[in-house]
Structure 1
Amino acid sequence: MKKLALLATALAMVSGSALAADLRVKAVKAPPPPAFDPWDIAFGSSITNDYVFRGITQSNHKPSVSAYFEPRYNVTKDVQLYAGLAGASISFPNRAAAEIDIYGGIRPTFGAFAFDFGVWGYLYPGGTCHYGAAVDTAGQPLSAECATNALVNGNVIKKNLSFFEGYAKVNYTVNDMFQFGANEYYTPSFLGSGAWGNYASITGKFTAPSSTFGSSGLGMYVSGEFGRQWLGTSDSFYGTGFTNPGFAGPFPNGINYADYNTWNIGVGFTYKVFTLDIRYSDTDLSKGDCNAFTSDFAARGNITAASGTSITAINPTGVGSNWCGAAGIVKLSADLTAMTSLK
């Protein structure tokens, strides 16, 4: 009997151990992986004291607000398709008060290299032609609107300045702190002027370690960009007809705009979805060449060769613009994505 009791006890222990083992296997069984959702949406808004684009103010050195909406589709974890709609307040010579952007492209990633290829359209609704004559310098007839309206400083500007660019960008991430990039943009008609435009730049960014501000959640970075804008010759609309003594004379076939360098450097602070960016921007364009390029409605100067301080080969009037000069930019923005920020 004693042997039978011991045997029964042993069998019970083995059976219990097997049951316990079986229960443990069932307890740690992994749940099925969640279904991959390739869709995401990025959106945000910003306010700045000066909207500067490639070193040139788009808001007459006044405040500007902007917003964007960007649906994204992740083909794989390394390939993303996207399209976007954005808008910003501006102050243009043709009195357009808004910029509407429509864009789209593809962002493939290969290891530490992140690429971006796409097309960007810039639309400027609500513009008015300002010329002050019935024909341009090539003798081409202009609309009644162009003939009726004129800027006080003698600059001329088209009603429609909309244009598009194709672009290619690459960003290389060295580590959690350092990133470097290169950008290339091309358009056959910059700001609808008829002059082709090619912009290339290099960028750099240093992101402070997450421990810099302890557990506050505050982040910081320092970034900068150096770029060069090449420009072709405008159409005859922008040729100048001034023939006063000492001036360079008319340009019936258009103005060969001056190429220029631009650069910016700044520091930014991040907290959750918010970024405060403080930046210095400048170009090497003279006030005269800046005026010829921008048709700045606020440009001032004298039209006599003796007193004009901004006379250049393509700006014979002596009117000078400060739209391309040094600028301090403060920008507060919020950027979110539906898949992460809103969860």
Structure 2
Amino acid sequence: MKKLVLAAAVLAVTAGSAFAADLPVKAVKAPPPAPFDPWDVAFGSAIMNDYIFRGVTQSNHKPSVAAYFEPRYNVTKDVQLYVGTSFESISFPNRAAAEVDIYGGIRPTFGMFAFDFGLWGYLYPGGQCFNSAAFPGSGIPGSELGCILNGNLPVNGNVAKKDASFYEGYAKVNVTLNDQWQVGANEYYSPNILNLGAWGDYASLTAKWTAPSTTFGTSGVGMYVSGEFGRQWLGTSDRFYGVVSPLGNFAAGVPEPSYNTWNIGVGFTYKVFTLDLRYSDTNLSKASCNVYTSDYATRSFSPAFITPTNPGGFGSNWCGAAGIVKLSADLTAMTSLK
């Protein structure tokens, strides 16, 4: 009898298990995906011992501070629209004390290719005019009474327009080859660079190597090495910068000197901070640099600097070799604000 009861119990359990296996299993719902937030913002600031732009100092080889603010709208995860503004302290020939940039564009990404297309405006408020020949009614672009009152720049006789503002259109691409290597190409064009009356075209190639995250153990410190080689092509200035001498007649404007520029450096990152140490140089001679920059600070004279477009014989060191130390802080997500 006991054996019969045990067999019945086993049969009941087995049948129950088989019946349960036939019942539909209710799937566990996956958690809903995080909502897509299209808005983002980037902002930051920097301090550097020298503000170099395409191989040319913008701060007379003196320290400079900078800050930027850039709202972004992500149309999709691969297409971003953005506008921004930045500020840099400078020391320009026209005595403008700051550079104010306003820019905007679109950044589409296709796999390993990240593109960037936009328009960039460079504004230099607070400038003064220096050119005793640019009197009202002279027909020289930028003529005004202030030009006569200020005369030419002290000692070296260079001239500068009150307004040096200009804009550029640009196209860039950055290619991520793997976790460590990136290469890129850039193209900028302005119909009137620095308001010289001359067109400007800048093209460059870049490369960046990022060290493995374990290079400095668990310290959180990162490192990279990057470099750029570029070419700045320039057209002919307007009459404001014209010169006439026994060596040549350039009253209608001087052919601005096109040049090559390059830089290479190493950077260290920690959280939102970056310390970048960089070497920058160009192939511009001191005479050609003086023509292009209208350097107000140079007192360097040599007969070797006398050329048809630089008859005054002054040479500028604004375009030569320079070492740059830059410390910056960059926050690039809305979560950083919370």
The two structures have a TM-score, normalised by structure 1, of 0.90
Question: 162, 181, 184: which is aligned to 2:184?
Answer: 181
Structure 1 unaligned residues grouped into runs of 5+ = none
1:266 is matched by which residue type in structure 2? G
Q: Distance in 2 between matches of 1:331 and 1:116?
A: 24
- Per-residue CA deviation, residues 155-207 of structure 1 (Å, 9 max, x unaligned), is 00000000000001111111011111110000000001110000000011111
Q: RMSD of the alignment, in Å?
A: 2.4
- Whether 2:148 is the aligned partner of 1:147: answer yes
1:248 alignment counterpart: 247
Picking from 301, 326, 329, the partner of 1:334 is: 329
Q: Secondary structure in 2 aligned to 1:309?
A: helix
Deviations 1:91-147 (A, max 9, x none): 0011101100000111111111111110000000000111123549x7648311011
Aligned 8 A contact 2:134 2:240 in 1: no
Q: Does residue 325 of structure 2 align to residue 322 of structure 1?
A: no
Gaps of 5+ in 2: none
Which amino acid is 2:148 matched to? A
Matches within 5 A, 1:1-343: 2=5, 28-135=28-135, 140=140, 142-150=143-151, 151-152=153-154, 153-241=156-244, 243=245, 247-302=246-301, 307-342=302-337
Contact persistence 1:84–1:103 (CA under 8 A): yes
Cα distance in 2 for residues equivalent to 1:93 and 1:43: 29
How far, CA to CA, are the matches of 1:5 and 1:179 in structure 2? 71
Shift of 1:5: 6.0
Contact 2:248 2:309 in 1 (8 A): no
Q: Structure 1 residue 312: deviation in Å? A: 2.0
- State the Cα distance separating 1:300 from its structure 2 match: 1.8
> Residue 261 of structure 1 aligns to which amino acid in structure 2?
N
> Counterpart of 2:315 in 1: which secondary structure?
coil
Structure 1 residue runs of 4 or more that deviate by more than 4 Å after TM superposition: 3-19
**Contact kept? 2:248, 2:308, Cα under 8 Å:** no
Question: What is the CA distance between 1:74 and its match in structure 2?
Answer: 1.1
TM-superposed deviation, 1:18: 9.3
- Report percent identity of matched pairs: 69
Give the distance between the partners of 2:216 and 2:253, measured in 1 at CA.
Answer: 55
User: C-alpha displacement at 1:34, in angstroms?
Assistant: 1.9
- SS in structure 1 at match of 2:291: helix
When the two structures are aligned, how many residues end up with a matched partner? 331
